[in-house]
Amino acid sequence: MTNDQSELTDPTFPADFLWGAATAAYQIEGSAAEDGRTPSIWDTFSRTPGKVRNGDTGDVACDHYRRAPEDVKLMAELGLRSYRFSLSWPRIQPGGSGPANEAGLDFYRRLVDDLLGHGIEPWVTLYHWDLPQALEDAGGWPARDTAARFAEYAELAVAALGDRVRYWTTLNEPWCSAFLGYGSGVHAPGRSDGADAVRAGHHLMLGHGLAAQAMRASRADAEVGVTLNLYAISPLTGSPADADAARRIDGLANRFFLDPILRGEYPADVVADLREVTDFGHVRDEDLAVISTPLSVLGVNYYSRYVVGAPPEGEEPGPHWRKPSTWPGSEHVMFGDRGLPVTDMNWEIDAPGMVEVLTRLHREYPELPLYVTENGSAFIDEVVDGEVHDADRLAYFDAHLRACHEAIAAGVPLRGYFAWSLMDNFEWAWGYSKRFGMVYVDYETQARIPKSSAKWYAAVIRNNGLAAQ
């Protein structure tokens, strides 16, 4: 495939398909202590020795807080129709409670106005993992009060931006916040307690529901959704033990969030799987009605497939096993390796899994407009003569956009796609060692270099379609 996509004719996407790219505040903004911003759990976590590769922090990141006009101009040059970005909670509401910090809000007001001035639809995510440290000190997401504080923050945000922002995402990937932050401890705040992880997941969803209600009360025209990281799940073999492992991981990865939010109930089998971890006493009678507040849209983040199983009893895990589970109630489950090509994150590349996820949502849950709010890949990139030729990433995007088109052809109400990520950035516990961007960032100079994938994506947007194969 060449980078000159002059013959992009087939397959084509619906005329109103929304083409975008996504970022997150802590990963790109920098200016971590300016204009009243206070520390988040990621500021604290990244300063804890051994938690983030190379001791990297988001103090500077991509310096987007200072360079936003330059970055918006770049988005316009790429032809983006929408830009999904998150607000920094501790920049808007230092300490996680009280009045808004107007200096923080002013940054987002300017950003939204600049986007609209360039014809780019702003898509705002309220929470992409940067909980104010003060709220973590008060108990964090395992504490019920954090959900109420989140709803108050949502009110501040929509009051300031709701007249210009149509699309709102409450939470990005609450599974990661709950199970990586409070279960395995590999993400901020770095706690490792299965019961806390389950409580955190519930209170994240409760916060989502309370925020959705508060935002709708303020702006009846707000399009409110939530973004979940969802996986196709497969057993490594056809054995009953592997099938049960797949059921368990599907329950925790997918249905733990989908069923309360879209059906107003927890899956009975997941509750049973977790009976040694928690009795779900933290769930109050009215909670699930709040959590299942109707959505306008559902965001789907898709990267790969989970292949899982249970090693034969009495045998050591073989070479096809990657790692044991740290998931509450499913510690015996192992994650498998099928020998497929992988990204620099060691995630298997499985575009058909995206079709599986999207068609499953359409088949098993109440119909909603769906958006792929993140999809992308990390690879090792090099600048050669001022250019970055990222053929692997370009191929990844091409395969997954074809999967999106296949899902649309099957009747899935998929309305848009956001590439992850607009630019290289702070990749959480991996620091700056992994690059997901379509735009290369030289962290020493902050120069931006559009990669081959960015130029290819710009052509896809221009032509609203992909090259025929």
Phi-psi region of 259 (alpha: psi -120 to 50; beta: other; left: phi over 0): alpha
Contacts of 312 (CB under 8 A, 6+ apart): none
* DSSP code of residue 179: I
C-beta separation of 40 from 133 below 8 A? yes
Q: Omega of the bond prior to 294 within 30 degrees of 0, cis?
A: no
Q: Determine whether 155 is an active site residue.
A: no
Strand-pair category, 334-336 with 321-324: antiparallel
Cα atoms found within 13 Å of the Cα of residue 333, Cβ hemisphere only = 28
Distance CA 256, CA 245 (A): 15
Buried b (16+ CB within 10 A) or exposed e, 81-109: bbbbbbbbbbbbbbbbeeebbeebbebbe
Token output for 157? 């945000």
Report the amino acid identity of residue 25.
A
Q: Please pick, among 29, 348, 356, 374, the residue that the annotation labels catalytic.
A: 374
β-strand partners of 441: 448
Distance CA 212, CA 214 (A): 6
Report the amino acid identity of residue 396.
Y
Distance CA 423, CA 443 (A): 11
Residue 222's nearest CA partner among 173, 171, 159 is 159
Report the amino acid identity of residue 295.
L
Residue 171's nearest CA partner among 131, 215, 124, 226 is 226
Q: Please pick, among 136, 173, 356, 427, the residue that the annotation labels catalytic.
A: 173
Residue 382's nearest CA partner among 394, 391, 369, 372 is 391
Q: Determine whether 348 is an active site residue.
A: no
Residue 192's nearest CA partner among 228, 142, 147, 148 is 142
* DSSP code of residue 260: H
- Give, to the nearest 10 degrees, the angle between helix 256-263 and helix 194-218: 30
Distance CA 458, CA 19 (A): 10
**Residue with token string 């500021």:** 43
Exposed, middle or buried, 376 (CB in 10 Å: 0-12/13-18/19+)? Answer: buried
- Give the chain's radius of gyration (CA, Å): 21
* DSSP code of residue 182: I
Active-site annotation, residues: 173, 374
